[in-house]
Amino acid sequence: MAYDKNNVFARILRGELPKVAVYEDQHTLAFMDIMPATKGHTLVIPKEPCETIFDCSPDGAAATIRTTQKVAAAVKKALGVPGVMLVQLNGTAAGQSVPHLHFHILPRAEGLDMKLHGRTMVDPKTLVPIAEKIRAAL
């Protein structure tokens, strides 16, 4: 299947859709999930057009992992949680809802109830203070 250049993350990368950015470098972008499963739910994507981990170049995958590692540490510190869960899905059969490689960073604490991803959209304004905390922890 060919990469869909009009998927939501491709449009975010082109500046066609808004985002609450947390971190950006030459190869990757990290931003708040507009449909968070937990408070602080952050996404990391490569700027390279790839649908799954299997389509990404080794350099693009490595850059995405480096950013995921960096941002996950900042999310953990900024939100004061004891752990983070990293989720990366490949293909619709695995539950991937946006056909662009991405990692979910989910702050976790004992007993924290987690909503299913993609069910409830939040007001992006509520994400800004959380993003500011994460940026400060970078």
User: What confidence tens digit (pLDDT) does each residue in 32-43 have?
Assistant: 999 998 999 999
Q: What's phi and psi for 32, nearest 5 deg?
A: -75, 140
In this prediction the pTM is: 0.87
Instruction: State the catalytic residue, choosing from 41, 102, 104, 117.
Output: 102
Count the Cβ atoms, other than its own, within 10 Å of residue 120. 11
Is 102 labeled as catalytic in the residue annotation? yes
Q: What is the dihedral of CA 13, 15, 16, 22, to 10 degrees?
A: 70
| CATH of the domain spanning 8-137 | 3.30.428.10
pLDDT for 97-137, tens place per residue? 999 999 999 999 887 666 556 567 889 999 999 999 999 99
User: Is the Cβ–Cβ distance between 31 and 20 less than 8 Å?
Assistant: yes
